[in-house]
Amino acid sequence: MAEPIPKTGTIVHVELHTKDVAKAKRFYGDVFGWKFQDIPQMNYTTFEAPDRPNGGIQTPSEKMGPMVMNYIYANDIKRVTKKIENSGGTILTPVSEIPGFGWFAIFRGPGGEVAGVYEDFPKK
User: Using one digit for the tens of pLDDT, what is the confidence trace for 4-27?
Assistant: 788 999 999 999 999 999 999 999
Under DSSP, the state recorded for 40 is G
Domain 11-120 CATH class label: alpha beta
DSSP 6: P
Answer for the pair 67, 73: CB distance below 8 angstroms, yes or no.
Answer: no
CA distance 2 to 82: 30
DSSP string, 13-56: EEEEE-S-HHHHHHHHHHHH--EEEEEGGGTEEEEE-SSS-EEE
Residues paired with 24 in a beta bridge = none
Per-residue pLDDT reduced to its tens digit, 62-115: 777 788 999 999 999 999 999 999 999 999 999 999 988 899 999 999 888 999
Instruction: Name the pTM for this structure.
Output: 0.86
Instruction: Delimit the domains of the chain by residue range.
Output: 11-120
